[in-house]
Amino acid sequence: MSVPQEKPQSNALPMAIVAGLFFILGFATWLNGSLMPYLKQILQLSPFQASLILFSFYIAVTFTALPSAAVIRKVGYKSGMALGMATMMVAGLLFIPAAKTQFFPLFLFAQLVMGAGQTLLQTAVNPYVVRIGPEESAAARISIMGILNKGAGVVAPIVFTALILSGFSDTSAGELSSSQIDAMADALVYPYLGMALFIGFLGFAVKKSPLPELESEAEEGENKGHIKEALAHPNLALGVLALFFYVAVEVIAGDTIGTFALSLGVENYSVMTSYTMGCMVIGYILGIVLIPRFVSQQMALTVSAVLGILLSLGVVLGDNNSFAIANALSFILGDAQFPDTLILIAFLGLANAIVWPAVFPLALSGMGKLTSVGSALLVMGISGGAFGPLFWGLASGSSMGQQGGYIVMLPCYAFILFYAVKGCKMRSWN
């Protein structure tokens, strides 16, 4: 008599839930690209002040990443996701009094809370991508989640423009009247209320979902003891720096393009982030097709860094009155007339797309039992998103202006190039 074998449980529903969470993470993150120039107008901010909108969001990663891991060890991964989304809901609700009072520090605090909630959700959801399916197909799942995350970056500015900016015209030209400022501030209330309630509902649904719980791999004390040992590996330590600089340029390209477009008088400034994210999605797809069949991870990283350097130079030295690229791409852009410099910033999405998927495995190569600690350290490289726009804002406030401010990307891509050529091969500091 044969014993009936238990049918393996399908991972389809858990993966669908995780995919939805990655889309939400991307939506809330890349909404900043539209929010930054919008608040710059309403609150009449300098480029440096506007950069604080991004700084307050991304700096949360620096001081909440390790506490988030501690929270998840205590409450579990699924409850950690729900708590992360509850925190994001609170952040969304904080935008309502911020909009009503037009008080800049309250906007910054709301951004800080949103970043903390995102960090907790990311810390909880990322391990599912690797561990919820076969290990040999983890890279494919990571790429799919990346496409969803950046795809949300294409959608978010379009939704922001449709819900918030659609009732206003000629906001990109000249000074706004007090009545226009009040109307634009009030337009934030209902969309952020709706987003907060939606995220809160999803958090409750995730808590009640059949998502399986994951076991923690290591105790806190063990992880702390391994951090120093992990950083003794140059390919990991330099990889953390490479990701720091990568996220810095990724956020500069994705989230400052709207503010720069506003300074050039471009009417559709709030959707510019969509173009950068669209290029990133194309880059992800190219990476899936080309790596490792045709090019190695190291070669792809080298090409990305060189392309980033060339595009950065093109932005800094380009002519804001030239529309040659837009005219050449009219079959894609239609009637949209964007200066060459803006399109070159969007093209940085192509240069940036491959960096994270390439650096992560190169940095973890040969780490063995230190892989999980090394992975946590690499994730902390996201804090580069706080400082890249800050330095761009500082440079923009100088005589170089906003266009010249993009020169801060050059040393970032130069370090990524160094990592691709030499840093990822280093196994000793000697």
Sign (positive or negative) of CA dihedral 148, 149, 154, 159 = positive
pTM here is 0.82
For residue 241, give the nearest of 233, 1, 28 by alpha carbon: 233
pLDDT, greater one: 257 or 358: 257
| Phi and psi angles of residue 239, each rounded to the nearest 5 degrees, phi first | -65, -40
Residue 279, domain CATH = 1.20.1250.20
pLDDT of residue 140: 66
pLDDT band at 6 (very low <50, low <70, confident <90, very high): very low
DSSP classification of residue 318: S
The helix (H) or strand (E) run that includes residue 124 is helix 104-131
Would you say residue 6 lies in a domain?
A: no
Q: Taking residues 158-176, what's their average pLDDT? A: 72
Would you say residue 230 lies in a domain?
A: yes
pLDDT, greater one: 379 or 272: 272
Domain that holds residue 342: 12-212+220-425
Would you say residue 405 lies in a domain?
A: yes
Would you say residue 241 lies in a domain?
A: yes
Would you say residue 226 lies in a domain?
A: yes
Q: Taking residues 143-161, what's their average pLDDT? A: 85
Q: Taking residues 19-37, what's their average pLDDT? A: 87
pLDDT > 70 in the chain, percent: 90
Would you say residue 119 lies in a domain?
A: yes
List all residues 6 or more positions away from 401 whose beta carbon is below 8 Å from its beta carbon: none
Would you say residue 1 lies in a domain?
A: no
Count of domains forming the chain:
1
Q: What would the two tokens of residue 192 be?
A: 């952020």
Q: Would you tell me how many other CB atoms lie within 10 Å of the CB of residue 425?
A: 13
Q: Tell me: the pLDDT tens digits for 219-259?
A: 444 555 577 888 888 988 999 999 999 999 999 999 899 99
C-alpha distance from residue 424 to each of 230, 242, 282, 291, 415 (Å): 14, 10, 25, 17, 11
Q: Taking residues 194-217, what's their average pLDDT? A: 82
Would you say residue 66 lies in a domain?
A: yes
Q: Tell me: the pLDDT tens digits for 380-396?
A: 888 898 899 999 999 99
